[in-house]
Amino acid sequence: MARVRKQPGTREALLQYDSVVLEPQRYKGNWQQVFGNKKSLQIEIGMGKGRFISTMAKQNPNVNFIGVEVIEEVMLDAVKRMNRTGGIPDNLRLVWINAALLEELFAPGEIERIYLNFSDPWPKTRHAKRRLTHRSFLQQYAVILQQDGQLHFKTDNQGLFEFSLNEFSDCQWQLQHIQLDMYRKLPAENVATEYEMKFHAAGLPIYRLEAVKPRSE
């Protein structure tokens, strides 16, 4: 993944947008207050340029969405893109925070679904713990997801996909709809990310799976 150059004033610029939630830890267990309703809550971790999460919010007005991004500059670019293409939907909020801190943002069982789209594969073995499908992250996801909550995962990286399959299996997640080339049988509800469109146009396979959190004992 290309590294993003730090830009002075990025944080201050983000604070001008109502859709960006300040001090999101304050709303742990009470995100209904932020949205003003009791709709179910879905999140994308690593929202990138924001096309996926904003499109999902527009297509699913009966669901609340949160885009999570750790890099402020990436989030600011996404916010600007959304505003140029119809604005940010009322059922979408954005937070910048490290995914390792998700349990500080969400109460147990507060999330209906998690999306991971084209996450950094961190190919070096010594960086495996940084992969968003590493078991340390899966343990967090299992806490914040509701019973029978799901994680939907897409990647162009075969190595990351194989690693993820093993991690999900070892952690007792129920795997379903595993696809080694998603565009051979494209799910009707699929929303493509910017990376996805680029990789598909280049003829590269897109790997996809859905995983259901382990059942409590």
Q: How confident is the model at residue 3 (pLDDT cuts 50, 70, 90)?
A: very low
Q: How far is CA 187 from CA 199, 210, 217, in A?
A: 17, 12, 32
The residue-averaged pLDDT of 143-170 equals 97
Neighbour-count burial of 128, counting CB atoms closer than 10 A to its CB (0-12 exposed, 13-18 middle, 19+ buried): middle
Instruction: Tell me the pLDDT of the chain averaged across its residues.
Output: 91
In the predicted structure, residue 145 carries a pLDDT above the cut 60 = yes
Q: Check: CB of residue 1 under 8 Å from CB of residue 120.
A: yes
Span of 7-16, 111-120, 207-216 with lowest mean pLDDT: 7-16
Note the Cα 171 to chain centre separation in Å.
20
Counting DSSP H helices and E strands in the chain, the numbers are 8, 7
E strands present in 46-97: 63-69, 92-96
Span of 26-40, 42-56, 70-84, 169-183 with lowest mean pLDDT: 70-84
Provide, rounded to the nearest whole percent, the portion of the chain with pLDDT above 70. 96
The residue-averaged pLDDT of 39-53 equals 94
In the predicted structure, residue 6 carries a pLDDT above the cut 70 = no
Q: Does residue 181 have an active-site annotation? A: no
Span of 15-24, 61-70, 100-109, 119-128 with lowest mean pLDDT: 15-24
**The pLDDT of residue 2:** 43
Q: How confident is the model at residue 7 (pLDDT cuts 50, 70, 90)?
A: low
Domain boundaries, the chain: 35-212
Domain 35-212 superfamily per CATH: Vaccinia Virus protein VP39 (3.40.50.150)
Catalytic pick from 18, 77, 90, 120? Answer: 120
